[in-house]
Structure 1
Amino acid sequence: MEKYINAFTDSLLNTLDYTWRAMTFDVPWYTNFFWGLTAISLLVWLLEIAFPWRKDQSIFRKDFWLDTFYMYFNFFIFAIVISGVYEILGVLFNDLGITAKSFAIIDIASWPMWAQLLVFFIIIDFVQWFTHVLLHRYEFLWQFHKVHHSVKEMGFAAHLRYHWMENIFYKPLKTFGVMILGGFEPEQAYVVHFIAISIGHLNHSNIKITWGPLKYIFNNPVMHLYHHVKALPDGHRHGINFGISLSLWDYIFKTNYVPEDSGTIELGFPGDEEFPKTFWSQITYGFVKPKKKQPSN
């Protein structure tokens, strides 16, 4: 038991220490996710201001500050809290004889760095796409994913507006993706993480980008806006356009749908007018049964 307690404590303190050092510029810029996230956010926000797709949408759109808080909460505050739990699970798996190479299909450690990063990017993106599909398909998971779909006006910060339980679902499957690669994460994996953050921010931004012919490979704001459409098209009751960074999975598995590109569609989900509006009520949603409004006399 002491081993697990020490693993939890050490991981918690190490994550807290890293976050503080990142905030105080004591981490190299190319691995500094705190200021990297901040810089990418500011850049995409400036692009939204300079080249707005929906011109009647305010610079400080609806829930702008709530979504901004979600970014730092999910990326850092929750990461600090949960890091110890993940470390305990790692120790437990090791005790059970399950190692990082237990499910290895390929070992990319000896490949050129560009090939490592490319395969790492593709595998992790597919795992995230598959997880995203599950969040829509199963009602228990959808209850948590509703937080992300409660966005009514799209902007860059909506990218990281999601229930903390999604971290619980994504992390193990992403770890499994790494295990498929021989338990190996490329030394320069931070490049992939920053690319994914940038693409995710752009996909949720108020900027009209389609990438031309590359739209069949890379996700884009027009395609992703329809993922958030309130009225789903016939034959797609579980959702459409599940792509994270890559759109090709949707085209392969026939979950793509982009009928037009005006950007004027209504966002949300049926019944979202009753969905909680505050941060605390949203992050407890799925566990606490919402109070029903009393009918007015």
Structure 2
Amino acid sequence: MEKYIDIILKSYSGYWRYLKYELTHVYHWDNYFYGLIVISLVVWLLEILFPWRKNQSIFRKDFWLDTFYMFFNFFLLNLIVLIALSNTTAEFFNDILGLFGWHVDSLQVFSVSELPKWLGLLIFFLIIDFVQWNTHILLHRVPWLWNFHKVHHSVKEMGFAAHLRYHWMEPVVYNSILYIPIAIIGGFNVQDVSIVYFFSIVIGHLNHANLGWNYGPLKYIFNNPKMHIWHHVKELPEHKKYGMNYGLTLSLWDYIFNTHHVPHDGRDIELGFHDEDDFPKTFVKQTIYPIKSKK
């Protein structure tokens, strides 16, 4: 038990030092804090210059709530719980393996560090995105997970910051499921993670932005605003009762596994879900909603 307490304390102190470094060292390329700000401002400017829904306000419905979610989930959540929980879970998993005489390295099938840089980065990206696509489906199909995911689907007007409006439990689920495939295929470094992370943020922001783009032929590879808005539609088609267009960065998986659905231009479709009238409107109440809900 002392070991786990020590891991938790070191996680808090370590991430606090890292966060202070991010805030004070502006000019390193993998600075997540200022990188998020720059990406957000650029995509917001694109929304202003090329709005798809021209009658939607620049400061759309819940703009400031989503902006708070964006910074809370990207930074404060790590400080409050996520890093400590991730490190403790990883150590607990290693201890369980140790009971059988195994360790994480023994799970590794191959290392991407042995491959050309571009190929290793591509494999890392594809693994991450495919696992996240499957996890996203679980969030829609498992009722108790859907209660957490409702926070994201409570968006009524799409905009870039809606990308990071989600319940804090979601990254716990995503990271827990990602742990094993990353352990099996090792050799990832900090630079790989940063490149994939920033690319995913850009695509995620664009997916949720007030932009009428579909990227032409690339729509079959990359998720896009015209496709992702149908993921948020309130009235689901009968043959897609759990949802559709689950891709985070790539639309590829939806086209391969027939979970895509873009019947027409979805610019003015109603967003949300059926019991949204009973769903709370503030951050605190949305955070405790899944715990209080009996559904």
SS for the counterpart of 1:74 is helix
Offset from partner CA, 1:244-264 (integer Å, 9 cap, x none): 000010011111000112411
Structure 2-normalised TM-score?
Answer: 0.94
Task: Report the residue type matching 1:84 in the other structure.
Answer: A
5+ long unaligned stretches in structure 2: none
Give the alignment of 1:39-50 within 5 angstroms. 39-50=38-49
Cα 1:183–1:102 change in 2 (3 A) is farther
Match of 2:54 in 1: 55
Offset from partner CA, 1:240-293 (integer Å, 9 cap, x none): 100000001001111100011241100000021221000000011110248xxx
Q: Matched residues in 1 for 2:113 and 2:250: separation? A: 24
Task: Report the residue type matching 2:10 in the other structure.
Answer: D
Are residue 14 (structure 1) and residue 14 (structure 2) matched? yes
Q: Matched residues in 1 for 2:206 and 2:240: separation? A: 25
Q: Matched residues in 2 for 1:240 and 1:116: separation? A: 30
Match of 1:179 in 2: 183
Deviation at 1:183, TM superposition (A): 5.9
In structure 2, which of residues 239, 250, 258 is the aligned counterpart of residue 235 of structure 1?
239
Match of 1:295 in 2: none
Match of 2:253 in 1: 249
Cα 1:251–1:171 change in 2 (3 A) is same
More displaced stretch, 256-265 vs 198-207: 256-265
Give the alignment of 1:97-108 within 5 angstroms. 97=98, 99-108=103-112
Match of 2:215 in 1: 211
- The two structures, once aligned, show a CA RMSD in angstroms of 1.5
Match of 1:38 in 2: 37
SS for the counterpart of 1:31 is coil
Q: Matched residues in 2 for 1:186 and 1:23: separation? A: 19
CA contact (8 A) 2:228 2:245 kept: yes
CA contact (8 A) 2:229 2:266 kept: no
In structure 2, which of residues 188, 193, 199 is the aligned counterpart of residue 195 of structure 1?
199
Deviation at 1:143, TM superposition (A): 0.5
Give the alignment of 1:49-88 within 5 angstroms. 49-82=48-81, 83-88=83-88
Deviation at 1:95, TM superposition (A): 2.6
SS for the counterpart of 2:175 is helix
Q: When you count helix as a share of all residues, which structure comes out higher? A: 2
SS for the counterpart of 1:284 is helix
Task: Report the residue type matching 1:218 in the other structure.
Answer: F
Q: Percent identity?
A: 53
Structure 1-normalised TM-score?
Answer: 0.93
SS for the counterpart of 2:114 is coil
5+ long unaligned stretches in structure 1: 291-297
Q: Matched residues in 1 for 2:58 and 2:133: separation? A: 30
Q: Matched residues in 1 for 2:266 and 2:243: separation? A: 20
SS for the counterpart of 2:110 is coil
